[in-house]
């Protein structure tokens, strides 16, 4: 299915044309039928000769109901523009055209309606005027067909033209990130909450988990209907009705988005490129109404540069957005459309006064300036696309040289170099202040550089001057504590009396050196007594030998084996127990699981 919206001035015959094409009157309310005036959105379906199914969204043409018109066209890219031959181009024809322009609509056709009420010359003049009005717009050159909904004149040509237009269109893309802007909410008897809208960006299936509402609530898709048929999967571009379980009708309203959970951002601030409409100057600051999808939102508008190319929009409430989304801006004071906007950044980190310098950059540079560590999941949410598509975009950024692959992230080359220089400077400073320490803990350095430890590890993975080992970052120029003269002298002094070592403080050794050697494994601190690692290996060997010969040992036996005193032996015996070399059995020690001695269970 493909979806088409009508557009045009009030009383030019949009609803009558939809009725003639589909057999369904899109005017749903008694007031509309009584007054002959479309007030809200209407919906109808038909199948063309080619088999293409169309869902029509019929919009009101009266200026008083412009927000309803905006709700109908916000998610569409094909238009059936209606101009009555009896009146020609009118004010709402012009405003509807401007709205379509800022929404980026480039495909469609024009129907000159009520053609039987005028002569052929008037129809020809209407055609010339329409061509002129469209000539400077993105809709320039679209086909124009004269028709009459009452007599049936030209309706077959309208159908053929629509068929050709839709056949030539690429169709709604499936980006793996479905979003449905809700344009109707109602409670169906026996079904519960039902929402309708035009599905974009991805497909939805029965039993999918979605979130919608404000604040968003999780719901399940119980059933899907399109063109009066139950389906298991709805494709992008379709008009659909979703029966939702887990959310009440009162929790939903027009303008809410139905999306798959955890796939979208809901910012309150967006930086945008602004396209002001001719003759509608936009104040540098002030309140405006922003129309996104099917919704109307109050925003604070702030221009970010003097020419007014960029602006920051601050929404009163969070809104489901992606980069590239288009927004219509209207002045509530004058009730006029003043500009269109395209989303360039979401929840920007830059200050408003600095933002324009970033927004003017090409996409890859702009995105990396705002988000120096860019992963595929983050980019997928920004662009509302699948992670494979986001991965492909990241690879293209690397290929064109705008970024460097660092672990699972893409980082701007200059930013990566800045992080490495900053890390190197801080590590060198740490070495100067703590010469006996091996280096700085990576978690401490990451906090100082405002990075996550895993990001810092990735950034330093191939930095030649920095080494990351056992959670410590060391500069290549730094001599490890274990290789210093003071370290060699201390280890030699301790090994000279392995089982009754002198206290390092009595040797005048700095505590920082001792801590470094303990961290590097050359020394072992047992309950405040510092032994060399070699001394403990020697003690282990002697005790294991005695266990093999006698089956068990006492503390006194260990003291005699080591030729030491209880002050030093007790920490060693405790270490043997903790490491599994020995196991205490009353006052004896017997072989433990790491002794290497096979222990037979008693019979």
**Which residues are bridge partners to 204 per DSSP?**
234
**pLDDT computed for residue 196 by the predictor:** 92
The number of CA neighbours under 13 Å toward the Cβ of 247 is 28
Average pLDDT over residues 484-511: 88
DSSP bridge pairs for 465? none
- Specify whether domain 361-478 bears CATH 3.30.559: no
Beta bridge partners of 403: 412
- Average pLDDT of 274-278? 89
Is it the case that residue 602 has pLDDT exceeding 70?
A: no
Higher pLDDT, 221 or 77: 221
| Portion of the chain with pLDDT greater than 70, in percent | 98
Lowest mean pLDDT, pick from 158-172, 306-320, 431-445: 431-445
With a CB cutoff of 8 Å and minimum separation 6, the contacts of 492 are none
Residue 34, both tokens: 């009584």
Which long-range contacts (C-beta less than 8 Å, at least 24 apart) are formed by 590-594? 590/547, 590/551, 590/552, 591/544, 591/547, 591/551
Residue 69 CA to residue 2 CA, distance in Å, equals: 19
The Cα 223–Cα 87 span in angstroms is 45
pLDDT at site 60: 83
At 32, is the pLDDT very low, low, confident or very high (cuts 50, 70, 90)?
Answer: low
Give the model's pLDDT for residue 89: 95
The pLDDT assigned to 581 comes to 93
Question: Which of 243, 80, 240 lies closest to 161 in space, CA to CA?
Answer: 80
pLDDT in tens, 42-65: 889 999 999 999 999 888 877 777
Position 416 pLDDT exceeds 70: yes
Q: Does pLDDT of 600 surpass 70? A: no
**Rounded distance between C-alpha atoms, residue 366 and residue 585, angstroms:** 70
| Pair 318, 295: CB distance under 8 Å | no
Cis amide bond preceding 215, omega within 30 = yes
For 189, other C-beta atoms within 10 Å of its C-beta total 5
The confidence band for 192, taking pLDDT boundaries of 50, 70 and 90, is: confident
Strand ranges (E), 372-528: 374-375, 403-406, 409-412, 440-441, 466-469, 472-475, 523-526
Share the mean pLDDT of the chain: 90
CA-based nearest residue to 579, from 558, 559, 593: 593
Which residues are CB-neighbours of 36 under 8 A, at least 6 positions away?
11
Compute the distance between CA of residue 278 and CA of residue 339 in angstroms, rounded to an integer. 9
Q: Where exactly does CATH 2.40.30.10 map onto the chain?
A: 179-260, 269-360
Percentages helix, strand, coil for the chain (3-state, rounded to 5) are: 35, 30, 35
Across 217-221, 352-356, 375-379, 483-487, least confident range: 483-487
Query: What is the structure's pLDDT at 603?
Result: 42
- Please name the fold of domain 2-168: Rossmann fold (3.40.50)
Where residue 571 falls among pLDDT bands split at 50, 70, 90? very high
Give mean pLDDT, residues 61-90.
Answer: 85
**% of the chain residues with pLDDT over 90:** 63
Angle between helix 555-562 and 566-578 (nearest 10): 110
Residues 126-159 have pLDDT tens digits of: 999 999 999 999 999 999 999 999 999 999 999 9
Mean pLDDT of 253-276: 93
Strands 78-84 and 42-47: unpaired
The tokens for 311 are 């602006």
Enumerate the CATH 1.10.10.10 domain ranges in the chain, comma separated.
Answer: 489-591
Please give the DSSP secondary-structure letter assigned to residue 390. Answer: H
Q: Is 416 helix (H, G, I), strand (E, B) or coil?
A: helix
Output the six-digit token pair for 578. 């903790």
Per-residue pLDDT, averaged over 565-579, amounts to 93
Instruction: Give the model's pLDDT for residue 269.
Output: 96
- CATH fold of the domain at 269-360: Elongation Factor Tu (Ef-tu); domain 3 (2.40.30)
Task: Tell me how crowded residue 421 is: count the other CB atoms within 10 A of its CB.
Answer: 12
At 8, the pLDDT band (50, 70, 90 cuts) reads very high
For the whole model, what pTM was predicted? 0.77
Two tokens, residue 98: 């401007």
User: Of 1.10.10.10, 3.50.50.60, 1.10.10.60, 3.40.190.10, which CATH number belongs to 489-591?
Assistant: 1.10.10.10
Q: Is 522 helix (H, G, I), strand (E, B) or coil?
A: coil
Q: How high is the pLDDT of residue 220?
A: 94
Q: DSSP state, 482?
A: G
CATH of 179-260, one of 3.40.50.1820, 3.10.50.40, 2.40.30.10, 3.90.226.10: 2.40.30.10
What is Dmax (Cα atoms) for the chain? Answer: 125
* 116-148 burial: b if 16+ Cβ within 10 Å, else e: bebeeeebeebbeebeebbeeebbeebebbbbb
The three-point CA angle 202-189-222 to 5° equals 30
| Cα 150 to Cα 84: distance, rounded to the nearest angstrom | 13
Q: How confident is the model at residue 73 (pLDDT cuts 50, 70, 90)?
A: confident
Nearest alpha-carbon partner for 275 in 225, 313, 323, 329: 329
Rounded to whole angstroms, how far apart are CA atoms 546 and 561? Answer: 8
From residue 579, alpha-carbon distances to 359, 524, 574 in Å are 60, 13, 9
Contact assessment for residue 122 and residue 114, using Cβ atoms and an 8 Å cutoff: no
Q: How far apart are CA 322 and CA 161, in angstroms?
A: 33
Domain boundaries for CATH 3.40.50.300 within the chain: 2-168
What one-character-per-residue DSSP string does 24-52 give? -----SHHHHHHT---S-EEEEEE-TTS-
- Alpha-carbon torsion 288, 292, 294, 295, what sign? negative
Is a pLDDT exceeding 60 seen at residue 287?
yes
């Amino acid at each position: 299915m493909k979806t088409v919206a009508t557009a045009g001035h009030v009383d030019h015959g949009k609803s009558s044309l939809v009725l003639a094409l589909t057999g369904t009157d899109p005017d749903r309310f008694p007031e509309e039928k009584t007054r002959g005036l479309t007030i809200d959105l209407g919906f109808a379906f038909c199948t063309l000769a080619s088999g293409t199914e169309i869902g029509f969204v019929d919009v009101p043409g009266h200026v008083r109901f412009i927000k309803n018109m905006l709700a109908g066209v916000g998610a569409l890219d094909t238009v059936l523009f209606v101009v009555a031959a009896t009146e020609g181009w009118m004010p709402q024809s012009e405003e509807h055209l401007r709205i379509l322009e800022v929404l980026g609509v480039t495909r469609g056709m024009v129907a000159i309606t009520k053609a039987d009420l005028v002569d052929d010359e008037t129809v020809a003049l209407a055609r010339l005027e329409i061509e002129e009005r469209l000539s400077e717009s993105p809709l320039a050159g679209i086909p124009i067909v004269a028709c009459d909904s009452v007599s049936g004149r030209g309706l077959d040509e309208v159908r053929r033209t629509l068929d050709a237009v839709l056949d030539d269109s690429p169709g709604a893309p499936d980006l793996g990130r479905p979003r449905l802007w809700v344009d109707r909410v109602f409670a169906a008897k026996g079904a519960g909450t039902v929402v309708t809208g035009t599905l974009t960006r991805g497909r939805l299936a029965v039993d999918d988990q979605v979130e919608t509402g404000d604040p968003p609530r999780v719901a399940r898709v119980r059933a899907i209907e399109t063109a009066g048929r139950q389906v298991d999967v709805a494709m992008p571009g379709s008009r659909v009705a979703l029966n939702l379980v887990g959310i009440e009708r009162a929790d939903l309203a027009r303008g809410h988005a139905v999306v798959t959970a955890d796939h979208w951002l809901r910012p309150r601030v967006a930086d945008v490129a602004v396209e002001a409409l001719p003759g509608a100057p936009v104040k540098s600051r002030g309140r405006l109404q922003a129309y996104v999808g099917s919704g109307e939102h109050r925003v604070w508008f702030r221009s970010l540069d003097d020419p007014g190319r960029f602006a920051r929009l601050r929404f009163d409430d969070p809104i489901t957005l992606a980069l590239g989304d288009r927004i219509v801006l209207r002045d509530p004071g004058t009730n006029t459309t003043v500009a269109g906007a395209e989303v360039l950044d979401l929840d920007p980190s830059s200050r408003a006064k600095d933002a324009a310098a970033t927004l003017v950059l090409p996409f890859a540079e702009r995105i990396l300036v705002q988000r120096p560590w860019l992963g595929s999941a983050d980019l997928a949410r920004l662009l509302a696309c699948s992670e494979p598509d986001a991965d492909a975009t990241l690879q293209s950024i690397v290929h064109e040289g705008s970024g460097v692959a660092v672990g699972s992230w893409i980082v701007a080359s200059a930013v990566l170099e800045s992080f490495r220089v900053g890390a190197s400077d801080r590590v060198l400073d740490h070495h100067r202040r703590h010469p006996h320490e091996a280096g700085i803990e990576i978690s401490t350095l990451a906090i100082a550089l405002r990075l996550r430890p895993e990001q810092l590890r990735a950034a330093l993975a191939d930095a030649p001057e920095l080494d990351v080992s056992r959670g410590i970052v060391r500069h290549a120029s730094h001599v490890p504590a274990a290789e210093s003269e003071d370290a060699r002298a201390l280890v030699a002094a301790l090994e000279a009396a392995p089982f009754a070592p002198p206290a390092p403080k009595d040797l005048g050794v700095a505590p920082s050196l001792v801590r470094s050697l303990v961290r590097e494994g050359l020394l072992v601190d047992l309950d405040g007594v510092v032994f060399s690692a070699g001394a403990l290996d020697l003690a282990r060997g002697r005790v294991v030998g005695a266990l093999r010969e006698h089956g068990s040992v006492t503390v006194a036996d260990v003291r005699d084996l080591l030729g030491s005193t209880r002050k030093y032996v007790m920490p060693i015996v405790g270490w043997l127990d903790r490491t599994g070399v020995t196991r205490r059995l009353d006052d004896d020690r017997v072989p433990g699981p790491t002794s290497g001695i096979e222990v037979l269970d008693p019979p």
